[in-house]
Amino acid sequence: MAFVAPFDLVGGALVVLAASGGAGLLPSASSRRATVGALSLALLGCLLLVSVALEVLLGGAAGTATVALPGFQSASEALSLAVVLGPLQGLFLLLVGAVGGAITLASVGYVPAYVHERPATLAGVYGLFVGSMALLVLSGTAFLFLVAWEGMTLLSYVMVVHEHGSWDVRRAGLTYLVMSHAAAAALLAGFVVLYVGTGSTNFGAMSANARALPELTRDAVFVAMVLGFGTKAGVVPLHVWLPEAHPAAPSNVSSIMSGVMIKMGVFGLLLVVFEVLGGGPLWWGFVLLVLGAASALLGVLNAIAQHDVKRLLAFHSVENIGIIFMALGAALVFLSLGWPALAAVALLAAILHTFNHAMFKGLLFLGAGAVVGTTGTRDMEQMGGLARGMPRTAIAFLFGAMAISALPPLNGFVSEWLLFQAFFASFGTGSLATEVAFTAAAGTLALASGLAAYCFVKAFGVIFLARPRSEVARSVRSDAPAAMQVGMVALAGACVTVGVFPVLLLSTFAGTVRTLTGASYATSPWAWGAPLAFPSVSGAATPSVPPHGSLAIGVVALLLMVVLLAAMVLRRATSNGSPSRRPMWDCGMDAPTPRMEYTASGYAQPILRLFSVFYGAHPVSELGDLGGARPGVLQKTVRHESEVDYPLMEQVYSPIVRLLRELARRVSRLQSGGIHAYLAYMVLTLVVLLVASRLFGGVLP
């Protein structure tokens, strides 16, 4: 069936991506040609990744293949390298290749048009970055995984600080770098513990032995992994880098970081917690569930408060990662309770939402990129009426907004539906804690999705509808570059396709679901009208869960189409002439100016007020500056100021930063500058190492 073995294709893809880096970074005569060349190579690499993924997922090559890389066999087993290609890897290669590909295509339009400084460098680093993500997914050993992980982090850091002329960007980059390194340290610790316990860094071998590890060791590994992967994924309270770094980066980079890179945290959890550790006690699931619920709610609430469009989208990434974590938590809980079929439903929801979020968030960031690039500002209060100048971007953005708001028949709805069903199914399990927690989680999810709709009505309305709020917005005449439009349309099309035919994508999850839960989920990719059935557990006794809801979203979409058609016929039949255009209703006042429109901040106000607990301070709206008039009489000027604090940053992180500074100050005393002192440190270190190797020699090979 396959003409080229998957591993050769993968190798080819990685080489192409490396070449993309070369094309961008090597000195070149034409910066533009180098940019486009590098991005085209990256696109080719993405397509190759997709073909590998499809071959693995559809080619029936079930099971996991591991290839040790010849020539990389170190004397120490801990440092050996191997790549692995199983169903889980196939899925995430598909994510990197397909969503990354669409974003790369859009980048071909975006980078030359909107990145003015060193576009070729950005393009080259971008290609390498995609390659590092592919390598991460393919890692067969913890060592290679960590190397790829660090590469991914550093390359993305370089892209975040690409426009490093501004202090804000450098600060965001620093935050990102520091938090990523703390996360990497946690991962390193976790993998070392795993290695010491299982005697191998190879994931396959680890997996075989990890289940027999002592309870405490497994718990420690779990905590380390949640800290490490949770930071990368951007889950509350480890998310603080995300709303800083995403807005600072060029928009195609925000797009791929938010769409694809943060999903690597999800991949890591699936790989280590589900595949290697094979699930754990009940509280593991609850930890993920609580983190997820907190992220979903705080993410969306903070998003509503923003008027910087990219920051708003970044907070929505926190929200959606929260939803994915809730689903992962539910899957862990079901696994530990011994309900693999229900775990499979939750896992389907988690993976589907991972893909969905990649699609619509990638799309939304691209749309935001087009808008920001055209208007030159990220402040939504300066936008308005852009649907007229940039109609295609507006339509694509609208689809993304509807998908992220979980409206049928788009993809966001399907994954949230699955998750609701998973929560609902908890009632058959007979575990009181689970029932209570899942009911609360379902309420939180419903609230978060309602608030997401609120936020995106605000975002779309303020950016694209109404009258222009500034001169810049009024003068917008041209839409995004063509390649960018194609990229956005591809992602919007994917949102609709997955929304209407979810089984197309879901059927590729079968192998992963089987590997991770033991439940079989088999469905034909073409059964578009068939309800999403609950997977049956082959072999094990089928749990006596009651029948659940069913969803044939294709039928729902068909019904919507038919009714829409009928409505349009009715519209045509009752229409009498073409509509006329008149000034809008001004309630008897003189022509209202755009300054009287509802602003983004004004739109958010009811939520800020209701949920003021979650914001640092109430938004301050004051009548101020009496300008000489007597108080309470005619005021010459009125000033409204609305400031939203970010309590987490001030109350949790600031003390930590202060503590670290203090520690650093103390440590710096060691640096006396005297050469003797430094030599003494070296001797001391050597002695400590020797003693340690004597003491723990039996443990560390």
Partner 1 sequence: MTAPAPWVQFLLLVFELALVLGISPMLVGIMRRVKARSQRRLGPPLLQPYRDLRKLFRKDRIYAESASTLTPYAPWVSFVALVSAVPFLPWFFVPAPLGFAGDLIVVVGLLALSRFMTALAALDAGSTFGGMGSTRDMWIGALAEPTFLLVIFAWGAPSGSTQASVIVEHGLSLGLAHLSPALLLASTAFGVLLLAETGRLPVDNPATHLELTMVHEAMVLEYTGQDLAVIEWGKGIKFVLLAGLLTAVLLPWGIATALGAGALALGVGLLLVKLSSTAWLVGHLETRVAKWRLFRVADLSTLAVALALGSIALTYLVGVGS
> Which of 575, 668 has the CB closer to partner 1?
575
Cβ atoms 310, 288 nearer than 8 A: no
Q: Within its chain, how far is the Cα of 110 from the centroid? A: 21
Give me the least distance between CB of 624 and partner 1, in Å please: 22
Give me the least distance between CB of 411 and partner 1, in Å please: 12
Q: What is the dihedral of CA 516, 520, 524, 530, to 10 degrees?
A: -110
Binding residue (CB under 8 A) for partner 1 from 68, 193, 407, 472? 407
Give me the least distance between CB of 435 and partner 1, in Å please: 5
Residues 363-402 that bind partner 1 (CB under 8 A): 384-385, 387-388, 391, 394, 402
Binding residue (CB under 8 A) for partner 1 from 283, 424, 646, 653? 424
Give me the least distance between CB of 301 and partner 1, in Å please: 11
> Which of 584, 677 has the CB closer to partner 1?
584
Residues 11-70 that bind partner 1 (CB under 8 A): none
188 binds partner 1 (CB under 8 A): no
H or E element in which residue 232 lies: helix 215-233
585 binds partner 1 (CB under 8 A): yes
Cβ atoms 402, 460 nearer than 8 A: no
Cβ atoms 349, 415 nearer than 8 A: yes
Residues 509-548 that bind partner 1 (CB under 8 A): 529, 531, 545-548
Q: Total residues contacting partner 1 (rule CB under 8 A)?
A: 89
Residue 501: count of CB within 10 angstroms of its CB: 21
Mapping DSSP onto H, E and C, the string for 127-159 reads HHHHHHHHHHHHECEHHHHHHHHHHHHHHHHHH
Rounded Cα gap, residues 333 and 520, in angstroms: 18
Rounded Cα gap, residues 153 and 643, in angstroms: 32
Q: Within its chain, how far is the Cα of 124 from the centroid? A: 22
Residues 598-637 that bind partner 1 (CB under 8 A): 598, 602-607, 609-610
Residue 352: count of CB within 10 angstroms of its CB: 25
Give me the least distance between CB of 454 and partner 1, in Å please: 4
Binding residue (CB under 8 A) for partner 1 from 116, 477, 571, 630? 571
Cβ atoms 554, 525 nearer than 8 A: no
Binding residue (CB under 8 A) for partner 1 from 12, 408, 616, 647? 408
> Which of 35, 415 has the CB closer to partner 1?
415
Residues 425-454 that bind partner 1 (CB under 8 A): 427-428, 432, 435, 439, 442-447, 449-451, 453-454
Give me the least distance between CB of 499 and partner 1, in Å please: 11
341 binds partner 1 (CB under 8 A): no
Give me the least distance between CB of 585 and partner 1, in Å please: 5
Give me the least distance between CB of 419 and partner 1, in Å please: 10
Angle among Cα 139, 141, 145 to the nearest 5 degrees reads 50
Name the residue among 209, 343, 352 with its Cα closest to residue 277.
Answer: 209
Give me the least distance between CB of 179 and partner 1, in Å please: 31
559 binds partner 1 (CB under 8 A): yes
Rounded Cα gap, residues 41 and 23, in angstroms: 8
Determine the straight-line distance between the first and last CA of the chain, rounded to whole angstroms: 43
Q: What is the dihedral of CA 47, 51, 53, 54, to 10 degrees?
A: 130
Residues 661-680 that bind partner 1 (CB under 8 A): none
> Which of 219, 435 has the CB closer to partner 1?
435
> Which of 88, 422 has the CB closer to partner 1?
422
